[in-house]
Amino acid sequence: MKEGNVIDIGSKKTGPESYTPYIRIGVLLLLIIVIVSTVMSNLFIVKENEYRVIRQFGEVTRVVSEPGLTYKIPFLQSVTTLPKHQLLFDTQPTEVNTKDKKKIIVDNYVVWRIVNPTAMIQNARTISNVEKRMSESVSSTLRNELGSLDYSAIINEEKSARGDFNKLVTTKVNEVLQRDRFGIEIIDVRVKRTDLPAQNENSVYNRMISERHSKAQEYLSIGEAEATKIKAATDRSVTEMLSVADAKAKLVQAQGEAEAARIYNAAYSQDPAFYSLYRTLESYKTTLQGQPVIVMPINSPYAKYLQGAR
């Protein structure tokens, strides 16, 4: 190499040693980011309507139910979220044989909630397992309770022997799940509807129609009897009122006739001869009506006015 081509770079370093401070800063920043990310990923917020169950190696270490910010130990602990509010579970329809060997299909739903998250996680593990056990318990209880009743007692509300059936089923299902320590509470088991297998519907509908016709006829008979009773009472009242009115009319008429007779007597007593003449002439109107043939002695006092006597 020629001497004029040599370049003098002095003390300036261009090798790997010149990047060492930057590498250290980058590693430090990366470490800080990892630490912050790890801390942030293990902080979580508990909402009002949920439980946070913290587990370590599969065992429940604590349950956080109060809303706010909390934490878990990185890599060692895991968090499971469970609802605190009431839950609705729609069970599968259950086929039940009644006491009189008839089949019905019962459809219902369950309102429930978690009251002990630790027991629920330890004994049921998941909500789906709880719902499965709940469905089995409800179906079993329905079969036992409805199986002790006749079909007519189940579908006929007026003659039902069920009592508060929903409350009874709720109590029995609660007893089963509390015995299994599932950490839940059944608030209500409610029957939505009771259906019949298709082959039984027509016979049941015909029976229901017959019962309704019978009931309607009963109401009509009661109405007719009541109408007859009211009519008889009205007729009796009318007859009594007419009798009272007729008696009063006859009394007034008799009083009028008596008063007329008194007036006549007072008038006629002033001239008895005239009264005798007047009564005789009045009798002629009746006797001689239709020009009858009358035979009487010529000297009869009754005939003297007919002969022009005075």
CATH number of the structural domain spanning residue 170: 3.30.479.30
DSSP summary character for residue 220: H
- Give the domain-ending residue among 159, 180, 195: 195
H/E segment holding residue 192: strand 184-195
Q: Which residues have CB under 8 Å from 225's CB, separation 6+?
A: none
**How many domains does one find in the chain?**
3
pLDDT of residue 59: 79
H/E segment holding residue 189: strand 184-195
Q: Where are the beta strands (DSSP E) in 37-183?
A: 43-46, 50-56, 59-64, 68-71, 77-83, 87-90, 94-97, 103-114
| Angle in degrees, 0-180, between the axes of helices 198-268 and 272-287, rounded to the nearest 10 | 130
What residues form DSSP beta bridges with 53?
63, 80
Same domain, 113 and 24: no
Q: Which residues have CB under 8 Å from 133's CB, separation 6+?
A: 124, 177, 180, 182
Same domain, 172 and 157: yes
157: tokens are 């509300």
pLDDT of residue 222: 93
Same domain, 191 and 99: yes
What residues form DSSP beta bridges with 94?
106
Range of the domain at 296: 271-303
Same domain, 74 and 107: no
- Give the domain-ending residue among 53, 83, 113: 83
Closest C-alpha among 47, 48, 31 to residue 39: 31
pLDDT of residue 19: 66
pLDDT of residue 8: 47
pLDDT of residue 70: 76
Same domain, 43 and 130: no
Q: Give domain status of residue 137, yes or no.
A: yes
307: tokens are 């002969």
Same domain, 57 and 96: no
pLDDT under 50: residue ranges of the chain:
1-11
- Give the domain-ending residue among 195, 215, 244: 195
Same domain, 94 and 170: yes
Same domain, 92 and 37: no
Instruction: Supply the pTM of this predicted model.
Output: 0.50
Query: In this structure, what are the phi and psi dihedrals at residue 161, rounded to the nearest 5 degrees?
Result: -105, 15
Same domain, 120 and 183: yes
SS3 at position 1: coil
Q: Give domain status of residue 115, yes or no.
A: yes
Same domain, 61 and 117: no
pLDDT of residue 277: 76
Integer CA distances (angstroms), 57 to 73, 76, 77, 280, 292, in order:
12, 7, 7, 143, 143
By the 10 Å C-beta count (0-12 exposed, 13-18 middle, 19+ buried), 182 is classed as buried
What residues form DSSP beta bridges with 43?
71
By the 10 Å C-beta count (0-12 exposed, 13-18 middle, 19+ buried), 243 is classed as exposed
Is the four-CA dihedral 165, 168, 170, 173 of positive or negative sign? negative
| Angle in degrees, 0-180, between the axes of helices 127-146 and 165-179, rounded to the nearest 10 | 130
Same domain, 175 and 110: yes
Closest C-alpha among 70, 78, 89, 173 to residue 127: 89
Same domain, 92 and 59: no
